Amino acid sequence: MAGPVPMGEQTTAPSIPSRVATVSLHTSPLDQPGTGDAGGLNVYVVEVARRMAERNVAVDVFTRATSPDLPPVVELAPGVNVRHVPAGPYGHLDKNTLADHLCPFIFGMLRAEAQGEPGHYDLVHGHYWLSGKAGVVAARRWGVPMVQSMHTMARVKNAALAAGDAPEPEARVRGEDQLVRQADRLIANTDDEARQLTGFYGARNEQISTIPPGVDLETFTPGPRAAALDRIGLPRDAELLLFVGRVQRLKAPDVLIRAAAELLERDPSLRSRLVVGIVGGLSGGGKREPQLLTDLARSLGVADVVRMEPPQNRQRLADYYRAATATVVPSYSESFGLVAVESQACGTPVLAARVGGLSTAVSAGVSGVLVDGHDPRHYAAELHRMIAEPAWRARLAEAAPRHAATLGWSRTVDELLDLYRDALTPRELGLAACR
């Protein structure tokens, strides 16, 4: 079998790829978002892959096998296969140890490609730095472009650590430095992330394309709040302050609980109606301190209003959004903030930290409110206004779906396909000066 054709010597290329190798090493698209390491990245991979397949671009998603019982290949949707690659011990492994198992994962990718015809994959798209490290090797072996979405970056996270949170390891920082130099194209979720890629990692401007993620506008839609409250088991006069996401210090659910305590101190009459909903599973450092939020709520005297819920499927999650007075996203770092967009799509305004991609996900003063910093008193003041001024909240709620509608997945896939086409366009060999 002939070796790979160097990218500079390609003479033809399809207008769009016929088959893409998507790499999501550390978390499977089959996992429930909000549990373990599964979150917005998982949603992104699934939604993009489905819509790519609908446009006749087949997608194979490579992920690490976590159990010997998993079949080698699972069809996620017509044209989308999830390939489970054994790499290291089965079971959950800490992300910081997965770099030690990159070699068997890469070998698994190469074996899968070797079973097809030459040129089986036209392009590799990596998600998160570990996936990128594996994807670069495969892309170079196959002679195809390597496109990388970082989703989060170590230097960015380390610059905005929550109190008590551990910094990202130096091995990840070095790995991301190498990946930025090796990837053919980098995808930033927002202009802010593009600036971080250049400022923190020295990425070249011409290497970066800014393509916002989307939201499922068919599942996340507005609906009657009273009926949604009924369906999730809350009284119709409840004021639900909602947090959705992985329970870890980075996402700052403690800020919402502290804000609720401030809110009740400001207006004790709210206690009979106030509900703080924390919807999500323990993740990262949160697994080492599983009682952190319940102990905090107890110490602040608000345990009676805090309701801890496991991750929900998308239909049920949409009801939580519709039922909420506000969705609160107080993260210390967010590459985009998919939860904020889902909430707005359901007609519920968002109160979020002014960090990272949340400045794009939320239209400040129109579909929600952005807060500088993480002082619970500032969050409490805005939440009190949403409750005490229903006409103002209603204006935010009315505008929220319109803002979310500008961020549908169809737009994301349109722009990704344009990027793929450009990455596949043969480059000039630069030989004119030699003639």
Cite the annotated binding site for UDP-N-acetyl-alpha-D-glucosamine by residue number. Answer: 32-33, 40, 246, 251, 312, 334, 342
Binding site membership: which residues? Answer: 26, 32-33, 37-42, 95, 128, 152, 172, 246, 251, 312, 321-322, 324, 334, 342, 348
Please tell me the distance from the alpha carbon of residue 327 to that of residue 324, in angstroms, as a whole number.
Answer: 7
247 in the Ramachandran plot: left (φ > 0), alpha (ψ -120 to 50) or beta? beta
Q: For the CA atoms of the chain, what is the radius of gyration?
A: 23
Binding site membership for 1D-myo-inositol 3-phosphate: which residues? Answer: 26, 37-42, 95, 128, 152, 172
User: Helices marked H in 283-408 — which ranges?
Assistant: 292-300, 314-323, 338-345, 358-361, 376-388, 390-405
Please tell me the distance from the alpha carbon of residue 39 to that of residue 293, in angstroms, as a whole number.
Answer: 20
C-beta separation of 270 from 352 below 8 A: no
> CA angle at residue 287 from 286 to 293, to 5 degrees?
45
Collect all residues with Cβ–Cβ distance below 8 Å to 233 and sequence separation of at least 6: none
Parallel, antiparallel, or unpaired for β 80-85 and 73-77? Answer: antiparallel
> CA angle at residue 357 from 355 to 359, to 5 degrees?
65
C-beta separation of 53 from 77 below 8 A: yes
C-beta separation of 297 from 257 below 8 A: yes
Alpha carbons within 13 angstroms on the beta-carbon side of residue 363 total: 18
User: Helices marked H in 248-375 — which ranges?
Assistant: 253-266, 292-300, 314-323, 338-345, 358-361
Q: What's the DSSP call for residue 282?
A: B
**Measuring CA to CA, how many Å separate 419 from each of 21, 33, 212?**
15, 27, 13
Please tell me the distance from the alpha carbon of residue 52 to that of residue 414, in angstroms, as a whole number.
Answer: 9
Binding site membership for Mg(2+): which residues? Answer: 321-322, 324, 348
**Coil, helix or strand at residue 223:** coil
